[in-house]
Chains A and B, each alone.
Chain A
Amino acid sequence: MSAKQTLTTLIMALALIAVGTIAAAGDVPEQVSLDTMAKLFNGVEFDHAMHTDLGEDCSACHHHTTGTGTSNERCMGCHAGSDEATTVRCSGCHVAEPFSAKHINRDASNRYQFHIDMPGLKAAYHWNCVGCHEQMDGPTGCQDCHTRTTAGDDFYQINVVHAEAAGRGGH
């Protein structure tokens, strides 16, 4: 499989991550499978119930998309009084391919001042999770959340033996 295919698959996988089990408004899922971009790493079985038990407002992760309203200063400029959004899934706003020609050249009417630099889905996940985990001593290593696949092992070339160890001398 070519690099391009690999990366495309990875991205497509991420795009579908938030599929989860969010069925209807008010129906809070216990578990969410974040596995749609999985290629180099296996998907994450996100323990949603455990995270809601932490007692934070839903908006700590979901911005202005839930009833509690946004706490993010950057969003509040426009969304302080916004209604609840129709979707709470990350991929509802954060696109899987933020650097596709289609997205870069999208209609100017969809490019508000702050939405112009909105992170893609992959970055949204990582920032949201790792940002909190750093503050709350949660897991932050790559494989703490998603184990690497065989394709991932090949990609990172983990079987390479360092030249010095192999007695060929350094570079």
Chain B
Amino acid sequence: MSGISRRRFLAASVAGCAATTLAGPRKALASGTFSGYPDGMGVLVDLTRCVGCRSCEAACNKEQKLPAPDRPFDDMSVFDETFHDGKQKRRPDENAYTVVNRYNPEGGAPVYRKVQCNHCNEPACLSSCFVNAYTKTEEGAVVYNSKVCVGCRTCMVACPFHVPAYSYSSSLDPVIKKCIFCYDTRLKNGLPPACVDICPQEALTFGKRKDLIKIGHQRIETHPGRYVARLYGEKELGGTSWMYLAPVAFDQVGFDPTPGNEPIINNVKDFLGTVPMVLAIWPAMFTGFHLLAKKQKGHDDHEHDAEQQQGEDGGEQ
């Protein structure tokens, strides 16, 4: 009999597993919380200022060298376009990284909402990408390397804002397409994105995210009747670089009103935290079980062993 008893081994195994399981999630949470780069840039979108002129769409098209649109950018009939039996308004796609939609809240003037990538602090697209195509840059942009994108579209499923689009028109090399905050041509050179630059109403305010949070709250305090008291994106889903102020409840202008404040990755972080535990503990534990089982077999089957021993001896002769 070896130095460790079966009872002691089992007790130690259970204790070890319990310790790892309890410690695992706490460690995972501490290691993964990220509230954005300190000097990351952002955009504050003020829906009370937008007049729906679509200049941002035109500027995006030009800056990103996108194909000609279906309709001119001064054609306001696009606001009447709906899809899926009227349930879905326009969404960004491979030909348009941003679109403006019109909403008609009850008893109020029309409200226009610009849609584009919100450049999350902890992007779900980045978390879900198994080829690591996505990067959250220190300037705040969520960019992607289309050269390594394999077109699996997992990020399209992961994104809580349904932003990444797919180049379905390309049969040979379809990849993901989305707003990159004009990172390559502007943001990394200290310039605001093209949409912000062109906006005649300053509905889009470009600045350091931490400053925009202050500005957003200041606007709410200064004009209590103009806004609902919520800076959407400050905390939602772990925080986003693009944040919003609205004159009406956010669900009336197409936002998910209750996305929660946890980044999407927190849904899987606990599970992923157990993977190293499984890899490290389970082989040792099951090897132990296996050895013990063999040992026990040896205890109970003295005679059988003896017979087998004899047989083997006989075989050698």
Contact = CB atoms under 8 A, between A and B. Distances in A.
B50 to A, nearest CB: 12
B198 A7 contact: yes
A120 B197 CA distance: 11
A98 interface: yes
A43 to B, nearest CB: 14
Contacts of A142: 53, 200
Interface string A11-38: 1000000000000000000000000000
A117 B219 contact: yes
Contacts of B59: 3, 7, 155
A163 B81 CA distance: 14
B194 A3 contact: yes
B192 A99 contact: yes
B145 interface: no
Given A157-B72, A159-B72, A99 B206 contact: yes
B58 A157 contact: yes
A6 B197 CA distance: 11
Nearest to A103: B207
A127 B201 contact: yes
A160 B201 contact: no
A56 to B, nearest CB: 22
Contacts of B62: 3, 6, 155
B74 A163 contact: no
B138 interface: no
Given A104-B208, A158-B74, A123 B201 contact: yes
B69 interface: yes
Nearest to B43: A99
B71 interface: yes
Interface in B203-238: 205-208, 211, 214-215, 218-219, 222
A113 B219 CA distance: 11
Contact of B72 (A98, A113, A127, A158): A158
Interface residues of B, number: 40
A74 B58 contact: no
Contact of A117 (B51, B198, B215): B215
Given A99-B197, A101-B190, A156 B73 contact: yes
Interface in B36-77: 49, 51, 53, 55, 58-59, 61-63, 68-75
B180 interface: no
A171 to B, nearest CB: 6
B69 A117 contact: no
Interface centre among B51, B59, B198, B211 (most CB of A within 10 A): B198
Interface string A156-171: 1111101100000001
B167 interface: no
A8 B309 CA distance: 93
Given A4-B185, A104-B207, A142-B53, A160 B200 contact: no
A122 interface: yes
B299 interface: no
Contacts of B70: 160, 162-163, 171
Contacts of A157: 58, 61, 68-69, 72-73
A119 B202 contact: yes
B73 A162 contact: no
B186 interface: yes
Nearest to A165: B71
Interface in A38-70: none
Given A104-B206, A156-B73, A160-B70, 4 more contacts: A99-B191, A155-B62, A157-B58, A157-B68
7 contacts: A3-B194, A99-B207, A100-B190, A155-B62, A156-B72, A156-B73, A160-B69
